[in-house]
C-alpha cells in the first residue's frame, strides 16, 4: 500500500534551500491535503525569499532551527505526530567543503544522525506508518572514466571530496538505522540538479549571473569534466515517487541520462542568453569565458543509471536539458528581485575566496 502523506504533517528539512523549496511547491501542487513543517537553519544557502509564496498557505509552517538540535527535533516530531521526514538539510557545495569542511561534518553527519535517532525514538512501535527519506547525491560513488558504466545502486562508495565523504557517511548511518533498528528509511542518490532558486555558487546559476553582469565565466581546468544534469522538478517528482511507493530500506539512483561536459553547458548558456537577452554593446557572452585553475581532487565524470527507479516506480524525467535550461535561464531573467536579494557582502566574500586565487 502507498505511504500516506496526508494523515500527518510532513517534516521537510532544508526546505528554504534550492531543492527543498521546489519540492514543497511540487508537493503542494500535486497533493491538496498535504501539510508541511519546514525546518531550516537559514544558512547562507537558505532564504525566506525562496518560500515567500508558501508562507501564504495555512498548510505550511516555517520552523527556524538546526537538524542537529536534538531537543527541537524531538519536540517537533512529538508535538505534530510527524510520520514522514524528508531530509534535504545539508551543506551542499563541493568548493566550500574544500575551504571549510567542518560545517559539512556537523550538518551532514551529526545533523543526519540526530534526525535519525529522534525518528527512531519517536516512531518506536509505529514504524509501519512512518517514512524517513534521505536526499543524497551521486558524488558518494566517486568518479568515472570515459568508458565506465554509469553508477548503479550497487556501485561501491568512493567519495573524493569532503562534501561527498560527509554525504557518504550520512548514507551509511541511514542504512544502519534501517538494518539495526528497522527504521523505515529510503535514500535517493541524485545527479546534478539545476533550475529556479538555485544559489549562484553552483555552475549553472553562477554562469548565468556572471554573464549578465559582464563578469568572467570561470571554467575550471580544461572544462571537459562531465556531469549528468537533471531539472529540479524531475528530481522532486522522483522523491515523491520514492516517498510514497519506494520500498523501505532501499536506495534509488536518480538521474537525467543527460551527460554534458562543463564547457558545453557554458556554451549553451551563452547561446541562449545571446538569443534571449543580447549584450547591449553587441558581441557574444562567449567572449567572457575564462579558463581558471582546476578544483583540487576534481571528479572527472558522473553518470547515473536510473533503471531501478524507472522499472520499480515508473519514474522518468519530463524535461530534456534543452527545455530545462531554457526555463531556468528565463526564470533567472524574470526574477531579478530574487537575485538582488542574494547579492550580499557574504556572497561577495565567497566569490573572492573561491576565485581570486584561480
39 burial via Cβ count (<10 Å: 0-12, 13-18, 19+): buried
Q: Is 274 a catalytic residue?
A: no
Catalytic residue among 40, 91, 138, 272: 138
Query: Distance between CA 321 and CA 250 in Å, rounded?
Result: 28
Residue 223 CA: distances (Å) to CA of 60, 113, 260, 263, 290: 41, 36, 10, 5, 10
User: Residue 140, interface with ligand NAD (CB under 6 A)?
Assistant: no
Say whether residue 13 binds ligand NAD (CB under 6 A). Answer: yes
Which residues sit opposite 230 in a β-bridge?
193
Query: From CA 330, how far away is CA 324, in angstroms rounded?
Result: 10
- Please tell me whether residue 233 binds ligand NAD under the rule CB under 6 A: no
Among ligand NAD, ligand TYD, none, what binds residue 262 when CB lies within 5 to 8 Å by partner kind?
Answer: ligand TYD
Alpha-carbon gap, residue 341 to 336, rounded angstroms? 9
138 part of the active site: yes
- Is residue 94 near ligand TYD by the rule CB under 6 A? yes
The correct pick among 25, 134, 167, 202 for binding ligand TYD (CB under 6 A) is: 202
- Is 61 strand, coil or helix? strand
The CB density around residue 71, as the number of other CB atoms within 10 Å, is 10
| Shortest Cβ 343–ligand NAD spacing (Å) | 16
Distance CA 12, CA 24 (A): 8
Say if CB 228 and CB 191 are below 8 A apart. Answer: yes
Separation CA 333–CA 121 (nearest Å): 46
* 206 contributes a contact to ligand TYD by CB under 6 A: yes
Angle between helices 112-122 and 162-181 (to 10 degrees): 20
By the rule CB under 6 A, 96 interacts with ligand TYD: no
Interface with ligand TYD (CB under 6 A), residue from 169, 203, 232, 238: 203
Residue number of the CB closest to ligand NAD reads 17
Helix, strand, coil distribution of the chain in percent, nearest 5: 45, 15, 40
Could you tell me which residues come within 8 angstroms of residue 286 by beta carbon, excluding any fewer than 6 positions away? Answer: 267, 270, 274
Residue 199 binds to ligand NAD (criterion: CB under 6 A): yes
Indicate which of ligand NAD, ligand TYD, none lies near residue 88 (CB less than 5 to 8 Å, by partner kind).
ligand NAD
- Give yes or no for residue 46 binding ligand TYD (CB under 6 A): no
Region binding ligand TYD by CB under 6 A among candidate stretches 105-113, 219-227, 237-245, 277-285? 219-227
- Per CB under 6 A, which of residues 287..306 are in contact with ligand TYD? 295
- 161 to 190: interface string for ligand TYD, x by CB under 6 A: ------------------------------
Instruction: List interacting residues with ligand TYD (CB under 6 A).
Output: 94, 192, 202-203, 206, 218-220, 225, 227, 262, 295
Catalytic residue numbers, as ranges: 138-139, 163
Which residues form the interface with ligand NAD (CB under 6 A)? 13-14, 16-20, 39-43, 45-46, 66-68, 88-90, 92, 107, 111, 135, 137, 167, 190, 192-193, 199
Amino acid at each position: 500500500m502507498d505511504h500516506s502523506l496526508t494523515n500527518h504533517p510532513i517534516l521537510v528539512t532544508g526546505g528554504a534551500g534550492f531543492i527543498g523549496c521546489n519540492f514543497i511547491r511540487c508537493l503542494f501542487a500535486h497533493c491538496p491535503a498535504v501539510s508541511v513543517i519546514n525546518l531550516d537553519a537559514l544558512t547562507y544557502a537558505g532564504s525566506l525569499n525562496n518560500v515567500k509564496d508558501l508562507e501564504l498557505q495555512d498548510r505550511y509552517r516555517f520552523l527556524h532551527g538546526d537538524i542537529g538540535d536534538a531537543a527541537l527535533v524531538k519536540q517537533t516530531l512529538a508535538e505534530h505526530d510527524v510520520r514522514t521526514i524528508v531530509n534535504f538539510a545539508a551543506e551542499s557545495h563541493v568548493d566550500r567543503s574544500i575551504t571549510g569542511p567542518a560545517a559539512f561534518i556537523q550538518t551532514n553527519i551529526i545533523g543526519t544522525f540526530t534526525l535519525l535517532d529522534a525518528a527512531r525514538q519517536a516512531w518506536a512501535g509505529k514504524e509501519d506508518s512512518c517514512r524517513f527519506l534521505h536526499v543524497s547525491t551521486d558524488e558518494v560513488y566517486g568518479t568515472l572514466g570515459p568508458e565506465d558504466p554509469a553508477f548503479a545502486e550497487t556501485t561501491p562508495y568512493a567519495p573524493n571530496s569532503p562534501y561527498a565523504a560527509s554525504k557518504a557517511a550520512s548514507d551509511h548511518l541511514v542504512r544502519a538505522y534501517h538494518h539495526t533498528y528497522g527504521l523505515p528509511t529510503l535514500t535517493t542518490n541524485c545527479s546534478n540538479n539545476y533550475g529556479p532558486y538555485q544559489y549562484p555558487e553552483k555552475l549553472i546559476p553562477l554562469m548565468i549571473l556572471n554573464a549578465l553582469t559582464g563578469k568572467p565565466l570561470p571554467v575550471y581546468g580544461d572544462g571537459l569534466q562531465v556531469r549528468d544534469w537533471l531539472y529540479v522538478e524531475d528530481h522532486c517528482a522522483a522523491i515523491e515517487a520514492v516517498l510514497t511507493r519506494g520500498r523501505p530500506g532501499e536506495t534509488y539512483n536518480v538521474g537525467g541520462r543527460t551527460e554534458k561536459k562543463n564547457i558545453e553547458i557554458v556554451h549553451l548558456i551563452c547561446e541562449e542568453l545571446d538569443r534571449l537577452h543580447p549584450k547591449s554593446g553587441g558581441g557574444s557572452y562567449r567572449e567572457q569565458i575564462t579558463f581558471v585553475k582546476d578544483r583540487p581532487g576534481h571528479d572527472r565524470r558522473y553518470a547515473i543509471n536510473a533503471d531501478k527507479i524507472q522499472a520499480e516506480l515508473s519514474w522518468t524525467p519530463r524535461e530534456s536539458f534543452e527545455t530545462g535550461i531554457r526555463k531556468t535561464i528565463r526564470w533567472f531573467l524574470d526574477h531579478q528581485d530574487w537575485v538582488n536579494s542574494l547579492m550580499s557582502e557574504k556572497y561577495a566574500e565567497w566569490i573572492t575566496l573561491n576565485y581570486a586565487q584561480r
